[in-house]
A and B are shown apart, each in its own frame.
Chain A
């Protein structure tokens, strides 16, 4: 029996049903397009749904919150890697993007004086303004809105349990590539679906599963977005920039990878220790995530790591001081509440109460790199910000799939705004593109990908894709994970080659309905492609910057000429990488940042040498300023934000 292929016609196909996909689908449908959403997980079950549920809403607390201020804020935070057109677009739409969720049933608390959603009491992660809105039930409330957006109908059809395998392109105007549709494996329907469509929006999330189980995100992040785009010939940008959170659970296994802390939550006296109890990093709260991850992974590399491949975050020093100690636990519980819930569930009582150190290890959290696009999410190529008329015609991206918005680092509470801003922008642009599409779609353009896919069902072989996947995950962690070396990055290439060669030896039964072996095969194919793209970019970025940590090299100076890496897959499957120049921050701003950084480091150095009694009283005063009383609450910070790692604050 061979798997059957069904044919369908749409104007716009959206890959993914999280925040970006659902907002893209609604925007395209509002313009009269016939839209198909393709989701491998149940509708709305995405990173948006499992997030902390805080969104950036410009001007929600103050009228003087200008577009310029927010755009500049994003560029500085991202180490100048973000594309100005894209940060400008984010800033412009960030006032109203939140209302798109509200139109789907998201109901924040209201500030009746300002007649808009109520802002969180303090400025969030790295923001120079109060402009974040939180929701009861966090991301799950957004999940309901995304579900409503897709399931309601009104111009949107959807498939869940359906893997979008590849886009199909032909050429026009000489040799320019253009989207004519895509091929889908409908696992619950037990068939392939070939869709003729002039526009495809990729909103299929990130790549954290490349490091599973060392991640706190959804399992479905198998790099599908990047792999599908790369195979179609699109360019990817900043692919070395993966955000790892340093303090995640190493053990017990059921909680492996979940977040327990950030540099800020380690508080004033938290230190990192190796297995011998030696301090490997002090003043943790003043460090960047990269410094923390590097210290942990360096200890592991030297054989001084903890039993589960991490190190110990020791916060006992905060707890034992008689005056300031009582404040500390409450601070820890309230500044990062979701993380502390994880710690309380996963650790024994004395550990959770900080009477003993926590075994921690980094986890993959968010991918800042992605498809190279313009401000409406359209594929671009060329120098500088790139040009749409050089990109893949009809290919769009939104959400974590796209690059160019965050560069080397991300402000807190921005990704839920990102999905709405660029989801709806891509939805509108794709719809306009589809309506203007003049060509004819030839079914024979689909023939090669259909034949190749049908041929996989019933493939004889000796190995399971899931087994190869675990091998890749282990190797990726060691070489292109949170701590990298030149040798490691070079070593992953041949490993990827060897695993790719084994794809033809994967055993896949012939049956059509929910063929798990085929699903694992496809996800492995995407993970391998993505690992290649990350390795190529990581090899080009020859010193540390943002999420790219080189143990064998120092930091790239903030005074150096900034550049982004751009990778491009050749027809033979190899990756070419090059640098694209980015504008530099004015010298005055850089000097101010440097001075602030030096002052901060000087203060924390000096503080450590004070006698305990003096330290205790000074800390009591600091906690009082933050929380008032020992039963007060600290200001909440967003995981992954600059506020949760103050040393990463670059914004003025």
Chain B
């Protein structure tokens, strides 16, 4: 089974064809199977991220035919092209630099640690959001995240991106839903969402979660409604 893999090394990019040897006649391999076999055979220095192989750790996201997929649990077929997710800067082969997203949350999680009564039940929506594995599939087609790269801008990820994305909004909405947050903390989380460019969500058709969280219903719309008040 032939697939294309985009390699990026030391500033140069090229696409190679890899012929996956099926291990059983009826095998329908996952993307990760192909990458592991390529590394074990023809491309021993192939760079890609993976972790748990069971859709829990969230690190193995790649693009297949231009759409983000968790490599460990998405099937691949003849002729597909595997490339690094295009929403983040490539580092090597299929590895992209992720930390510009997390770093934008530094200093924005301050209401996390509070000394008040811990023994309060969180609402169901809070638990719905802890299902996020931080795979960053939601960055695809996000107009807010795209602002970081407007007009060919090349922001330094070490400083954290200026503009947000569904993941950063999810972390802020968790703070708003947390029964331990103070009212001031909730207002602050909303202010951070606005700083990160929440206005970009107003005309957006919606974002897609890699593990099936209702991002529009449970993150974006509640924040927009709160901002509209």
Residues of A at the B interface (CB closer than 8 Å) are 41-45, 49-50, 99, 102-105, 107, 109-110, 112, 115-117, 135-137, 139-141, 143-144, 147-148, 151-154, 160-161, 187-189, 213, 216-220, 251-255, 257-258, 342, 464-467, 470, 509, 511, 513-517, 519-520
- B51 touching A466, Cβ below 8 Å: no
Closest residue to B110 on the A side, CB-wise?
A152
- For residue A109, which residues in chain B have a CB less than 8 angstroms away from its CB? 121
What's the nearest-Cβ distance from chain B to residue A114, in Å? 9
- B59 touching A42, Cβ below 8 Å: yes
From A49, A103, A117, B57 is in contact (CB under 8 Å) with A49
* B169 interface contact, C-beta 8 A: no
- A42 touching B56, Cβ below 8 Å: no
B interface residues, tally (CB under 8 Å): 62
- For residues 6 through 55 of chain B, which have their beta carbon under 8 Å from a beta carbon of chain A? 9-10, 23-24, 27, 29-30, 32-33, 36, 39-40, 44-47, 49-54
Q: A45-B59, A50-B51, A141-B130 are in contact. Are A466 and B45 (CB under 8 A)?
A: yes
- A148 touching B109, Cβ below 8 Å: yes
From A42, A102, A219, B98 is in contact (CB under 8 Å) with A42
What's the nearest-Cβ distance from chain B to residue A536, in Å? 29
Contacts A/B (CB < 8 Å), 25 sampled: A41-B49, A42-B58, A49-B57, A49-B133, A107-B121, A107-B122, A107-B126, A110-B121, A112-B119, A136-B127, A136-B130, A137-B131, A139-B56, A152-B109, A154-B110, A213-B53, A217-B52, A253-B29, A254-B33, A254-B72, A258-B54, A464-B45, A513-B92, A514-B47, A514-B92
- For residue A107, which residues in chain B have a CB less than 8 angstroms away from its CB? 120-122, 126-127, 178-180
* B113 interface contact, C-beta 8 A: yes
The distance in angstroms between the C-alpha atoms of A306 and B47, with both chains bound, is 33
- A516 touching B93, Cβ below 8 Å: yes
Closest residue to A470 on the B side, CB-wise?
B40
Contacts between the two chains (Cβ within 8 Å), count: 169
Closest residue to B90 on the A side, CB-wise?
A514
What's the nearest-Cβ distance from chain B to residue A340, in Å? 13
Given contacts A41-B51, A103-B112, A516-B46, 7 further A-B contacts (CB under 8 A): A42-B134, A107-B122, A148-B112, A152-B112, A153-B109, A465-B44, A516-B93
What's the nearest-Cβ distance from chain A to residue B173, in Å? 12
Closest residue to A515 on the B side, CB-wise?
B92
* B65 interface contact, C-beta 8 A: no
- B51 touching A115, Cβ below 8 Å: no
- B10 touching A151, Cβ below 8 Å: no
- For residue B9, which residues in chain A have a CB less than 8 angstroms away from its CB? 509, 511
What's the nearest-Cβ distance from chain A to residue B214, in Å? 15
- A467 touching B91, Cβ below 8 Å: no
- For residue B39, which residues in chain A have a CB less than 8 angstroms away from its CB? 466
From A105, A143, A188, A213, B174 is in contact (CB under 8 Å) with A105
- B106 touching A152, Cβ below 8 Å: yes
Closest residue to A512 on the B side, CB-wise?
B10
Q: A107-B127, A464-B45 are in contact. Are A219 and B51 (CB under 8 A)?
A: yes
B197-219 interface code vs A (CB 8 A; 1 in, 0 out): 00000000000000000000000
Most A CB within 10 A of own CB, among B39, B93, B110: B39
Most A CB within 10 A of own CB, among B27, B57, B122, B126: B57
The distance in angstroms between the C-alpha atoms of A27 and B101, with both chains bound, is 25
- A147 touching B97, Cβ below 8 Å: no
Most A CB within 10 A of own CB, among B33, B91, B119, B122: B119
Q: A516-B45, A520-B45 are in contact. Are A49 and B56 (CB under 8 A)?
A: yes
Q: A105-B112, A151-B105, A152-B110 are in contact. Are A137 and B45 (CB under 8 A)?
A: no
Closest residue to B47 on the A side, CB-wise?
A516
- A50 touching B29, Cβ below 8 Å: no
- B24 touching A252, Cβ below 8 Å: yes
- For residue B36, which residues in chain A have a CB less than 8 angstroms away from its CB? 213
- A218 touching B112, Cβ below 8 Å: no
- A105 touching B92, Cβ below 8 Å: no
- B99 touching A188, Cβ below 8 Å: yes
- A137 touching B127, Cβ below 8 Å: yes
- For residue A189, which residues in chain B have a CB less than 8 angstroms away from its CB? 158
* B190 interface contact, C-beta 8 A: no
- B119 touching A116, Cβ below 8 Å: yes
- A151 touching B59, Cβ below 8 Å: no
Closest residue to B121 on the A side, CB-wise?
A110
- For residue A141, which residues in chain B have a CB less than 8 angstroms away from its CB? 127, 130
- B98 touching A160, Cβ below 8 Å: yes
The distance in angstroms between the C-alpha atoms of A464 and B47, with both chains bound, is 13
* B102 interface contact, C-beta 8 A: yes
Most B CB within 10 A of own CB, among A143, A254, A515: A254
- For residue B157, which residues in chain A have a CB less than 8 angstroms away from its CB? 188
- B99 touching A160, Cβ below 8 Å: yes
- For residue A513, which residues in chain B have a CB less than 8 angstroms away from its CB? 10, 91-92
What's the nearest-Cβ distance from chain A to residue B31, in Å? 10
Q: A42-B134, A99-B118 are in contact. Are A50 and B109 (CB under 8 A)?
A: no
- For residue B10, which residues in chain A have a CB less than 8 angstroms away from its CB? 509, 511, 513
The distance in angstroms between the C-alpha atoms of A161 and B96, with both chains bound, is 10
The distance in angstroms between the C-alpha atoms of A647 and B58, with both chains bound, is 36
What's the nearest-Cβ distance from chain A to residue B215, in Å? 16
* B138 interface contact, C-beta 8 A: no
From B91, B105, B133, A140 is in contact (CB under 8 Å) with B133
B155-190 interface code vs A (CB 8 A; 1 in, 0 out): 001100000000000000010001110000000000
- A105 touching B118, Cβ below 8 Å: no
- A516 touching B92, Cβ below 8 Å: yes
* B132 interface contact, C-beta 8 A: yes
The distance in angstroms between the C-alpha atoms of A134 and B97, with both chains bound, is 33
The distance in angstroms between the C-alpha atoms of A189 and B105, with both chains bound, is 20
Most B CB within 10 A of own CB, among A109, A148, A251: A148
- For residue A136, which residues in chain B have a CB less than 8 angstroms away from its CB? 127, 130
From B33, B97, B107, A152 is in contact (CB under 8 Å) with B107
* B62 interface contact, C-beta 8 A: no
- For residue B133, which residues in chain A have a CB less than 8 angstroms away from its CB? 49, 140, 143
The distance in angstroms between the C-alpha atoms of A299 and B58, with both chains bound, is 37
Closest residue to B170 on the A side, CB-wise?
A144
- For residue A112, which residues in chain B have a CB less than 8 angstroms away from its CB? 119
* B95 interface contact, C-beta 8 A: yes
- For residue B105, which residues in chain A have a CB less than 8 angstroms away from its CB? 151-152
Closest residue to B75 on the A side, CB-wise?
A254
